[in-house]
Amino acid sequence: MDIRQVKISDIQEGPIRHQTLSDTFVQRVKDFKQALSEVELTPLENTLENFQRDMHPERELKIWERMASTYQWTIIANPGLSLLEKKDVLGVLLGISVGSKDFSHIKNLSKDKVDAIVNHYS
């Protein structure tokens, strides 16, 4: 895989590949968005449209559900996290979901907390 930097303005959205999403699928999206509501602020309509553009929306949804589950576990296991810490929890989860193993950019969570999140997600 070739990784390169591009300007955000050069990124184009893919086409709508799935004209409709089942009611069950939409409810699952609503559920994971509720679990992440403090830190993931994309409007539901945009999120659903992104799934419509995805080649494999079911696979992508399962990733988001796993992130939401791990996020909730982390919040319960670490009561009193600040909003910045919670945003970093999501940052770690997003990194894991794309295969990152470098979390040195995470500034508001200890290495032990980051490791616990990675281990729980795995």
Sign of the four-CA dihedral 57, 63, 65, 71: negative
Q: Is the pLDDT of residue 28 over 90?
A: yes
| Residue 54 CA: distances (Å) to CA of 6, 10, 38, 117 | 20, 19, 24, 26
The alpha carbon of residue 17 and the mean position of all alpha carbons in its chain are separated, in whole angstroms, by 21
Task: State the average pLDDT for the chain.
Answer: 94
Q: Please, which residues have CB within 8 angstroms of residue 33's CB and are 6 or more apart in sequence?
A: 40, 42, 44, 47
DSSP code of 36?
T
User: pLDDT tens across 64-121, in order?
Assistant: 999 999 999 999 999 999 999 999 999 999 999 999 999 999 999 999 999 999 999 9
Q: Taking a C-beta distance cutoff of 8 angstroms, is the pair 114, 102 a contact?
A: no
How many Cα atoms within 13 Å fall on the side-chain side of residue 39? 22
Q: Return the pLDDT at 41.
A: 97
- When pLDDT is cut at 50, 70 and 90, the band that residue 10 belongs to is confident
Residue 1, pLDDT > 70, answer: no
